[in-house]
């Protein structure tokens, strides 16, 4: 048995879009002692980080840019964490500090994350004036609804409810790209935090993975919507639905119909707004389709 400190046994599986498959990265045992580990990813991407862990820690948690990433066991002596890089995270080098907590001691690992800028496009949109220049009553409503939505993200299910193999909730033409900088009626607005997929009214919308229905709503901007909680800080959102077919607290399976495509809320035509939040980061939903974690299928 080769004796190496856990620090040198750091293995990283990086999911780097379509460029490298997950298994591109070698196993810890193949890394020479003292290897400096660096991962890179773009704004809006998901990275899968795996870590060999000895013994039975009580908790394995990573910290990156003030976010907590809870690692979970995937195999004997191995933990994994999904790292979301927010669409507006500052490009450059950031430290991911992983703490492995045992009853009597704590180990710490540091990984450098090289965060690269994504080249987001500008999207010009024309919308009815009353949907953009909000009166004070509507503004108050929007603020309240935003609070309700964000409270849903406070939920912490201590284990992943998903399995590897995320799917698209509806198939269609992407009509609004994730991250695009939006100019609505000539005014610069917040970047688009999801993908808009155009599909005919009434097309079934399915869950991208298994989880629990954390919120169903009918809000000014989002229209009728569903928020699914997939555990450990991973949430998916489905907005502008014509109908919602699930209720709060219900468990759903991957591929289960949760609603139908519509144009409720602020929408120019029938489409699904599909958004994903991971540990507080707004990430590109399509980057999840490439996620594969050993032992999670």
Binding residues for Zn ion, rule: CB under 5 A, are: 176, 196, 273
Q: In this structure, are residues 239 and 196 in contact, taking their beta carbons and an 8 Å threshold?
A: no
| Closest CB to Zn ion among residues 37, 241 | 241
| Closest CB to Zn ion among residues 244, 267 | 267
Q: How far is the CB of 232 from Zn ion (least distance, A)?
A: 25
C-alpha span between 42 and 186 (Å, rounded):
28
C-alpha span between 170 and 274 (Å, rounded):
9
| Closest CB to Zn ion among residues 176, 280 | 176
Q: How far is the CB of 194 from Zn ion (least distance, A)?
A: 5
Q: How far is the CB of 115 from Zn ion (least distance, A)?
A: 24
Q: How far is the CB of 264 from Zn ion (least distance, A)?
A: 12
Q: How far is the CB of 267 from Zn ion (least distance, A)?
A: 8
Cα–Cα separations (whole angstroms), residue 275 to 33, 168, 289: 40, 11, 13
Put residue 295 in one of left, alpha, beta given phi > 0 → left and psi -120 to 50 → alpha: left
Q: How far is the CB of 188 from Zn ion (least distance, A)?
A: 17
| Closest CB to Zn ion among residues 164, 268 | 268
Q: In this structure, are residues 71 and 78 in contact, taking their beta carbons and an 8 Å threshold?
A: no
| Closest CB to Zn ion among residues 196, 284 | 196
Which residues in 124-138 are b (16+ Cβ under 10 Å) and which e? eeeeeeebeeeeeee
Taking CB positions, which residue lies at the least distance from Zn ion?
A: 273
- The three state secondary structure string of 114-143 is EEECCCCCEEEECCCHHHCCCCHHHHHHHH
| Closest CB to Zn ion among residues 224, 273 | 273
Please list, in sequence order, all residues whose beta carbon lies within 8 angstroms of the beta carbon of residue 3, skipping any fewer than 6 positions away.
none
């Amino acid at each position: 048995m080769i004796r190496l400190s856990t620090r040198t046994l750091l293995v990283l599986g990086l999911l780097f879009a379509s460029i490298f498959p997950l298994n591109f990265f070698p196993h810890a045992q193949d890394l020479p002692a003292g290897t400096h580990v660096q991962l890179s990813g773009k704004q809006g991407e998901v990275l899968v980080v795996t870590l060999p862990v000895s013994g039975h820690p009580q908790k394995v948690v990573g910290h990156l840019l003030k976010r907590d990433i809870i690692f979970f066991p995937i195999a004997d002596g191995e933990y994994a964490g999904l790292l979301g890089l927010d669409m507006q995270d500052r490009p450059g080098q950031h430290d991911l500090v992983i703490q492995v907590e045992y009853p009597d001691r704590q180990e710490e690992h540091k990984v450098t994350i090289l965060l690269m800028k994504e080249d987001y496009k500008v999207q010009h949109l024309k919308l009815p004036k009353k949907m953009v220049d909000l009166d004070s009553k509507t503004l108050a409503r929007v603020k309240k609804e935003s609070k309700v939505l964000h409270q849903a993200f406070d939920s912490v299910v201590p284990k992943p409810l998903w399995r590897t193999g995320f799917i698209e909730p509806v198939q269609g033409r992407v009509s609004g790209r994730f991250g695009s900088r939006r100019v609505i009626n000539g005014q610069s607005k917040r970047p688009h935090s999801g993908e808009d997929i155009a599909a005919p009214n009434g097309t079934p919308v399915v869950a991208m993975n298994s989880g629990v229905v954390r919120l169903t709503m009918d809000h000014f901007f989002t229209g009728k919507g569903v928020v699914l909680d997939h555990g450990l800080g991973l949430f998916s959102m489905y907005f502008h639905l014509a109908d919602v077919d699930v209720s709060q607290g219900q468990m759903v399976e991957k591929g289960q119909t949760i609603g139908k495509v519509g144009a409720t809320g602020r929408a120019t035509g029938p489409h699904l707004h599909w958004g994903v939040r991971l540990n507080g980061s707004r990430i590109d939903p399509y980057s999840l389709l490439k996620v594969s974690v050993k032992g999670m299928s």
